[in-house]
Copies of this chain bind each other. A is one copy, B any other.
Amino acid sequence: MLTFIGLGLSNEKGLTQEAMDALKSADIVYLETYTSPLSKIKIPKAQEVSRTFVEDGRKILSESSDKNLILLCYGDPVVATTHMGLRVRAERNGIDTKVIHSASILSAIPGETGLHSYKFGRTVTMTRAAPAKNLYVYHSLHANLLNGLHSLILLEYDSSSNFFLDPKAAIRSLLETEQEQKKLVIPPECFIIVCSRVGQSTQRIVGGKASSLSKKNFGKPPHAIVLPGELHYTEEEALRHVCKIKDDVTGNSARVKLPAVEMVSKYVTKAKKALEGARSRAQKEGKRFDSLFENVELYTLDAERFLNEGKYELAILSIGYAEGLLDSLNFTNQLDVEW
């Protein structure tokens, strides 16, 4: 039998009563040391094992085929793919498996920040290595903001080199990506939150401008960053009164516009001006395109209406159509239309 037991967010104090019972009847207890730099953990019988040992898994599998083996993991176990891989291999080999859950950063962050858990979008992990991967982080943050959702950004930890991506470095990297991408996902003045050592006695939640937090030291890991989307007033209250954030607490969704909204707004203005010019030129030249002009006008108004109704595809289609109608006069040499 292979039992995965969650250590929660701090040390052995995060073990549940169910976990304590299971530990009593265990034959072998392994303590995984790689997933996060917790406080020193004291558990009788437990042998510390490395990431490689768990990933390889052969000893664990052979021992758990006839013994009660426990693998202790940070947080709520099996959320990590390594554990699930091991669990699948065990079950395929006819070894029973079980998880005894404990606290996880995934639920503790909403609990400690007051941000509503159902308003979090996709969670992302930032790594030091690949800028391409962090571009994916940026796009995920963008998608969450467009939907008004908060983003939880976990930071890479590598036990072999004892490397934990520092919040400063992570924020700087995101600010650099912002300078290239310019989607207003994380401009220097935007409001973000750094959550350090959540669930431990030294927990600290700091909120402020990205630019100023990119210069702050947050002490020992683990850390996570939250980019809030739309903020409900109860969320703002919690950030101010529970997390004691003095800086301006503001959501980040309002400034992020769908590409469709920007596109249609811009082209509607252009089309209206071009139509006005075309009408006056046609009059001067004594030409008449009444039906065409009327339709350009109607489809431009349609585009605005669809935009207001949130029907973005129809809005773009309408303004494209209006442009095409008007521009046809150029291609058929009937009138010089200027854009």
Residues 106-140 of A, flagged 1 when their CB comes within 8 A of B and 0 if not, give 11101110101111111111000000000000000
Interface hub of A8, A75, A102 (most chain B Cβ within 10 A): A102
Question: A17 at interface (Cβ–Cβ under 8 A)?
Answer: yes
Q: Is A103 an interface residue (CB 8 A)?
A: yes
Judged by a CB distance under 8 angstroms, whether A268 is at the interface is: no
Residue A85 at the chain B interface, CB threshold 8 Å: yes
Q: Are A99 and B84 in contact (CB under 8 A)?
A: no
Q: Is the interface of A mostly helix, strand, loop or mixed?
A: helix
Residues of B within 8 A of A324 (CB): 299, 320-328
Q: Which residues of B contact A21 (CB under 8 A)?
A: 13
Residues of chain B within 8 A (CB-CB) of A81 are 116, 234
**Residue in B closest to A103 when the chains form the complex, CB atoms:** B101
A92 within 8 A of B: yes
Residue of B nearest to A323 (CB): B321
Interface string of A5-29 (1 = CB under 8 A from B): 0101110111111101100000000
Q: Is the CB of B238 within 8 A of A87?
A: yes
What is the CA–CA distance of A123 and B152 in the complex, to the nearest angstrom?
Answer: 14
> In this assembly, does A77 line the interface, its C-beta being within 8 Å of a C-beta of chain B?
yes
Q: Is the CB of B88 within 8 A of A241?
A: yes
CB neighbours of A10 from chain B (8 A): 18
| Alpha-carbon distance A258/B26, docked complex (angstroms) | 51
Distance (Å) between the CB of A181 and the closest chain B CB? 15
Other-chain contact of A332, B84, B147, B289 (Cβ < 8 Å): B289
A binding-site residues for B, Cβ under 8 Å: 6, 8-10, 12-18, 20-21, 75-79, 81, 84-85, 87-88, 91-92, 97, 99, 101-104, 106-108, 110-112, 114, 116-125, 143, 147, 149, 199, 234, 237-238, 241-242, 259-260, 263, 267, 289, 291-292, 295, 299, 312-313, 316-329, 331-334
